[in-house]
Amino acid sequence: MERTPVLDIKIEANGPAVHMQGENAEVLMVPFKGTVDCALFRGIVEPCGVDTQVVNAAGVRHMSARYMMTGTDSAGQTCHIYVENNGWFDDATKTMPFHTVPTFYTDSAVLAPYLHREQFVGEGHDLADGLHILFFEIEKGGQA
What residues does each domain of the chain span?
A: 7-137
Strand bridging mode 41-56 / 18-21 = unpaired
| DSSP tally for the chain: helices H, then strands E | 1, 9
Determine the Cα–Cα distance for residues 8 and 62; give it in Å rounded to an integer: 22
Per-residue pLDDT band at 121 (split at 50, 70, 90): very high
| CATH class, range 7-137 | mainly beta
Mean pLDDT within 11-15:
96
Residues 26, 54: contact at Cβ < 8 Å? yes
Residue 26, pLDDT above cutoff 70 = yes
- Burial code (b: 16+ CB inside 10 Å, e: under 16) for 21-48 equals eeeeeeebebbbbbebebebbebebbee
Cis bond before residue 97 (omega within 30° of 0):
yes
User: What per-residue confidence (pLDDT) applies to 92?
Assistant: 72
Distance CA 5, CA 132 (A): 11
- pTM across the whole model: 0.91
